[in-house]
A and B are shown apart, each in its own frame.
Chain A
Amino acid sequence: MSKRTLEFELATPGVDAQGRPIRVPLGAAATAAPELAGEHMLINLGPQHPATHGVLRLVVELDGETVVRVIPHVGYLHSGFEKLGEYRHYNQIIPLTDRTDYLAPMSNNVGVALAAERLMGIEVTPRCKVLRVIACEMSRVISHLVWLGTTSIDLGAFTPFLWAFQQRERVYNLQEMWTGARLTTSLTRVGGLMADIPAGFADGLREFTRTFPDTLNEIDGVLTRNAVWAGRTQGVGVMSAADAINHSLSGPMLRASSVPYDVRKDKPYLDYETYEFDVPVGEHGDVYDRYLVRLEECRQSTRILAQAIDRLPDGPINVADPRVILPPKSRAMTDMEAMIYHFKQVMEGVKAPVGEAYVGIENPKGELGNYFVSDGTAKPVRWRIRPPAFINLSALPTLAEGHLLSDLIAINASVDIVMGEVDR
C-alpha cells in the first residue's frame, strides 16, 4: 500500500484525535451569532441525478454548504427479484442475477450457482472451478473500472472514465466471446457452466492481463498524487474499524477501515486459497483509502487472472450427474434415458432437497450472500440476496453528516453502490 505521500490540513471538519469525524454541532452558527445564522434548506439529490450512481435519492438538510442531515430514500429500482425467484426453477434464477448487480454479472451468476450447489450437495469439476474464478475476477475488474470512471467524473476528472471504459470494452469482448452477451451473461448452471471458453479466449485474456496494468498505472499516475483528488478525498467520510464492523460493512468499505476481512481468504470457496494474492487494507478509512484499496484490488485481480489462465486444467466443465446437467444433444436424441432426463429437467427443473443453505462470495461491492430455503420442490421457498451495496449505503448518513455538500458527493461515490442490488 503506497504510504500516503500527500497530507493536507483540512479546511473541512476532518477527523479528531480518536479518528471519529468532527460533527458540526447543529446551529453552531446560531449560538455564535444568532442573527448571522441561515435557515436550513431541504434539497433533493433525487432519483434522476448524475452524481447518485443510479436512482438513489438523498434528501439533504443543508445549513449553507454544510450537510446537517442526510436521509437516503431507496427502492426506486425495486424490481421484486426475491418474489420472482420463488416462481422460478434454480436454473431459471440465474438469468435474474445478471440484472441485480449489473456491473459484475458473472460474479452474481457464480454466487447463485454456488449457493444452489451447496444446497444440493454438488461438487463441480476442477476446470469449472478455475473458469468460475476467472469469471469472478473479470467481474471485479470491470466493476472497479466503472467505479473508477464514474467517481473520477464526480470529482471532476473526465479522462479516467474514457480510459476505464476502453479497458472495459476489452473485457466485454472476452465476455461476449464466452457467453454471447456483453452484460447479461447468465454464465453458470447448477452443476457447471453454460459453455466452455472458446479458442481465442485464453490468449485474449493473457493479452489483457499483460497490458491492463499499464492503464491502471496511468490512472494511478493521474489521480493518486493529484492535489485536487487528494484534497477532496483525504479525511473525508471517515469510518473507524469498530464502526465499520458495527455497520456490517463489507468489501473495500470494510478493508479501507483497516479490517482485514476478505471472504476469499477467510472463508475460501472455489479453491481461492491455492492462488497467491494479497488483500489491500487501508489505514484511515476515508474516501482516499477506498480508492487506493479498489485500485490495488484491480492489480491483484489481474494477478489472479494470470495465474488462473496458466493453471486451467482440461476436462469437462459440467458435473456428470444427468439429473442436474442437461445431457449433450447428441445423446439426448439417440439414448432414451438421456431424453427422459432432458425432458424432466426442462419441464420440472432440478429438484433440491429440503433444507437451507447460505453462501457468501467476495463480490466487488462486498460480501454477496445467496440464501436458499427449499421444501423439496424445484422452486425455492425463499431466495434471499444479502446485498452488500444496500448495507454499505445504510452507513452513508453517519459518514456524510458534518461534511460539505461536495464532500457528500465524494462519499456517496466512494460507497460504490449499484441500485439494482440495493433495491433488488
Chain B
Amino acid sequence: MNPSVEALRAAFGSAIGRATVARDGETIVVVAAPHARDVLRWLRDTPGHAYAYLVDITAVEYRDRERPIEVVYFLRSLERRTDLRVKIELAPQDELAVDSVVSLWAGANWLEREVFDMFGVTFREHPDLRRILMWETYAEGNPLRKEFPLRGRFSRAEQVRQALAANPEAHYSLDELSIADAYHELPPDMRERLRKGERGKIPHSE
C-alpha cells in the first residue's frame, strides 16, 4: 500500500474513499468527484509525494450497468519511482462530468478529449473539449460505451453516406473556421450554414 494514501486521508479526510492494491501491486485510491482536482493538485505539488508525471487518463465501464463508470488517473513520481492510481466513480444515471486537470498537466489535454469522445464524460473547464478520434459531427454516440453496438448503430450504407456527404466545414474545428472568418475567407454558403447552426446535420438525400 502506497504511503501517499495515509497522507491523503490526513489531508482530505472523507473525500478519500476506499484504497485497494491492484493485481499488479499498484495502489488504487477512489476519490470523491467534487474534490478530485484539489486532491490531484495536492498530489502533484506536495514535496513528499511530487507525482509530477501523469502517465495516462482513461475511463472504465463495467458490463453490469449498476457499477459506476470510473475515470482513472495514472500518476507517477519520477524521483521516487512510485505509481498511484486515482479513480473517480461516476454513477451512470447522474451527469457524467469531472473537473479537467489540463491546468495541472498539459499532457492531459488530448487524453481527456479522447475519454470525452469515447465515453461521453465531459471535463469542466477543458480549453478545447471536442471529439478527437471520431469526426466532430459524428452522430452515432460514444463508441466505447457498453450499450454501443460493435458495428455501430447505423447501417453500413448509412455510415458510408454520412462519411462522404459531410459538408466542408465539418472537417474543420470552430477554431479554424473563426480564423478563416477573421480573414473574410469563408464562402457565403458556408457562413450561412454556420450562422444557422447546421454544422452537424448531413443533407439527407430522400
Contact = CB atoms under 8 A, between A and B. Distances in A.
B56 A118 contact: no
Contacts of B183: 39-40
A356 B23 contact: yes
Nearest to B118: A82
A371 B58 contact: yes
B133 A74 contact: yes
Contact of B56 (A87, A266, A371, A373): A371
A150 B101 CA distance: 35
Interface stretch (B4-12, B59-67, B193-201): B59-67
A214 B150 CA distance: 49
A71 B144 contact: no
Contact of B110 (A245, A353, A394): A394
Contacts of B134: 75, 78
Contacts of A386: 55-56, 74
Given A82-B144, A261-B78, A71 B63 contact: no
Contacts of A381: 60-63
A148 interface: no
A243 B53 CA distance: 11
B111 interface: yes
Contact of B61 (A78, A357, A382): A382
A248 B132 contact: no
Contacts of B110: 74, 390-391, 393-394
B55 A367 contact: yes
B140 to A, nearest CB: 12
B163 to A, nearest CB: 12
A40 B60 contact: no
A402 B53 CA distance: 26
A112 to B, nearest CB: 14
Interface stretch (B92-100, B154-162, B169-177): B169-177
Interface string A243-261: 1011111000000000101
A21 interface: no
A100 B118 CA distance: 18
B24 interface: yes
A259 to B, nearest CB: 7
Interface size class for chain A?
35 or more
B81 interface: yes
A322 interface: no
Chain B contact surface mostly: loop
Nearest to A379: B63
B176 A384 contact: no
Nearest to B173: A71
B62 to A, nearest CB: 6
Nearest to A115: B24
Contacts, number: 125
A79 B78 CA distance: 33
Interface size class, chain B: 35 or more
B143 interface: yes
A71 B107 contact: no
Given A42-B176, A358-B85, A245 B150 contact: no
Interface string B125-168: 00000011111000000011000101000000000000000000
A40 B56 CA distance: 36
A119 B175 contact: no
A259 B78 CA distance: 9
Contact of A353 (B23, B72, B143, B144): B23
A381 B26 CA distance: 19
B109 interface: yes
B190 interface: no
Interface string B107-122: 1111100100010000
Contacts of A394: 106-107, 109-111
Nearest to B28: A356
A355 B22 contact: yes
B109 A75 contact: no
B54 interface: yes
B60 A246 contact: no
Most buried by A among B56, B63, B179: B56
Contacts of B74: 358, 369, 371, 386
B23 A375 contact: no
A74 B132 contact: yes
Tell which of B26, B175, B176 has the most Cβ of chain A within 10 Å. B176
Contacts of B24: 118-119, 356-359
Nearest to A41: B183
A267 interface: yes
Contact of B106 (A75, A246, A367, A424): A246
Contacts of B175: 71
Interface in A350-388: 353, 355-360, 367, 369, 371, 373, 375, 381-382, 384, 386
B63 A83 contact: no
B78 A355 contact: no
A398 B56 contact: no
Contacts of A157: none
A313 interface: no
Nearest to A69: B179
B23 A119 contact: yes
Task: Find the residue from A40, A80, A359, A393 having the highest chain B CB count within 10 A.
Answer: A80
A375 B148 CA distance: 19
Interface of B: 22-24, 26, 28, 52-56, 58, 60-63, 72, 74, 78, 81, 85, 105-111, 114, 118, 131-135, 143-144, 148, 150, 172-173, 175-176, 179-180, 183, 185
Q: What 8 pairs across the A-B complex have the smallest Cβ distances?
A: A248-B107, A357-B24, A75-B133, A394-B110, A355-B23, A78-B133, A386-B56, A382-B60
Given A247-B105, A266-B81, A382-B60, 7 more contacts: A42-B176, A82-B144, A118-B24, A246-B105, A267-B81, A369-B74, A398-B106
19 contacts: A59-B173, A61-B179, A82-B144, A118-B24, A245-B78, A247-B107, A261-B78, A356-B60, A357-B24, A358-B22, A358-B85, A359-B24, A360-B55, A369-B74, A373-B60, A381-B60, A394-B106, A394-B110, A394-B111
